[in-house]
Each structure stands twice: as C-alpha cells, then as structure tokens.
Amino acid sequence: MVLQINGILSSEKIILGIDPGTTVMGFGLIKVVNKKMELIQLNELNLKKYTDHYVKLKHIFERTIHLIDEYHPDEIAIEAPFFGKNVQSMLKLGRAQGVAMAAGLSREVAITEYSPKKIKMAITGNGNASKEQVAKMLQSLFKIKEMPKNLDSTDGLAAAVCHFYNSGKVTTGKNYTGWDSFVKQNAKRVK
C-alpha cells in the first residue's frame, strides 16, 4: 500500500498486533516495506503481579498508548475474544480488548479485529492450529532465533501478520477508524 504522509509517497506501513489478556498481553510490531514484512518487536506485558483488575486495565491502556506513541503504527490488528464456558473470564478478556481498542481509537489508529480461528488459518493454513504451531510458523517466517517463553507475544505478532495477509482483501474483521466509526457500527452497545 502506498501511503502519502505530509506530501511524501511511502510504501511503508507499521502494524501493531495485540493479543489482549488480563494476565499477559502479547504484542508484535511489523514493518511492511514494498509488501515485505520485517519484525520490529515481539514482546508482552506481564500483568501477573497486579491483583486489582482495574489496575491491570490501566496498564494495558498505558502500554498500548506507549507503543502507539513510540512506533506510530498505521493500523492495529487485535485478536477478538473467543467464546468460552467461563463467563467471568470472557468478561475480563473483553474488557482487556476494549481498553486496548480505546487506546488505539484515542490516537485515531485504524483497528481491525480477527477471530483466533482466522488468525491461525492465516498463519498456518489450519484454523484449529495450536499456539505452538503458530509460534513455529512465525519463528520460521521471521527467522527468530530465540522465542519468548509465553506464546501470548507470538499470538500478538500473528494478529499483525494476519492483518498484513488480509490487506487489500475483503475481510470479515470489524474495522474502526476512530470513536465515531466505532459508535456508528455499534450503536446498540453505546448509550
């Protein structure tokens, strides 16, 4: 994609991928130059030391803002919550995702969310792949010598790569370009 920034044509794009969580938030940043990906960062925000859920949400928001301000991503790809049996866990995960999305929206960064199945399919060709299989594919793709202990960071990177693979295609992911866009697409959720 050719971008025009301050009148200068550029084929560079930075994508921030986020795997939201209230125990560990994984993230990966890639730079795309002339349709080739380059790994910028693969990391995680470990929230295990915090017991208060609201403090965790604050740290998720602050780290996401920090990443946006430091790397200036053009787009954010975020993993959508999966449907599980534990309602409390799903609520906490949804809050974590919402806080990360709010950080992006507050900086006017376009956000697309992808289901875990779609991300796995984009990376491995199998929507039911394990986290380990996704991590191995990413390790091979980016020639990563030392992989992180937690696979949350590779899940965040996988979201960014999935978004790159889906750039220019019609996707079933939900796109938000700012708060107004979010409200328009989710009128029933906002009062």
- Set 19, 44, 74, 113: catalytic member: 19
**Cα–Cα distance between 61 and 104 in angstroms, integer?**
9
Question: 69 a known binding residue?
Answer: no
Measure CA 84 to chain center. Answer: 20
The predicted pLDDT at position 85 comes to 72
**Cα–Cα distance between 8 and 88 in angstroms, integer?**
48
DSSP state for residue 51 in the 8-state scheme: -
Q: Residue 79 catalytic?
A: yes
The predicted pLDDT at position 6 comes to 45
Mean pLDDT per 10-residue section of the chain, whose length is 191 residues = 47 94 96 94 97 97 98 97 77 92 97 96 96 96 91 97 82 57 66 59
* Annotation: CATH topology of 12-169: Nucleotidyltransferase; domain 5 (3.30.420)
- Set 44, 79, 113, 155: catalytic member: 79
Output helix, strand, coil percentages for the chain, rounded to the nearest 5: 45, 25, 30
Q: Residue 52 catalytic?
A: no
- Set 44, 75, 113, 152: catalytic member: 152
* Antiparallel, parallel or unpaired: β 3-5 and 8-10: antiparallel
Question: 79 a known binding residue?
Answer: yes
Domain segments of the chain as ranges: 12-169
Half-sphere exposure of 62 (CA within 13 A, CB side): 8
Question: 52 a known binding residue?
Answer: no
Q: Residue 19 catalytic?
A: yes
Question: Is the torsion defined by CA of 190, 66, 115, 151 positive or negative?
Answer: negative
Burial zone of 17 (CB within 10 Å; 0-12 exposed, 13-18 middle, 19+ buried): buried
Residues 6+ apart with CB under 8 A from 55: none
The predicted pLDDT at position 170 comes to 42
Cβ neighbours around 38 below 10 Å, total? 12
**Cα–Cα distance between 34 and 41 in angstroms, integer?**
19
The predicted pLDDT at position 11 comes to 76
The percent of residues above 90 in pLDDT, for the chain, comes to 70
Confirm whether pTM is higher than 0.85: no
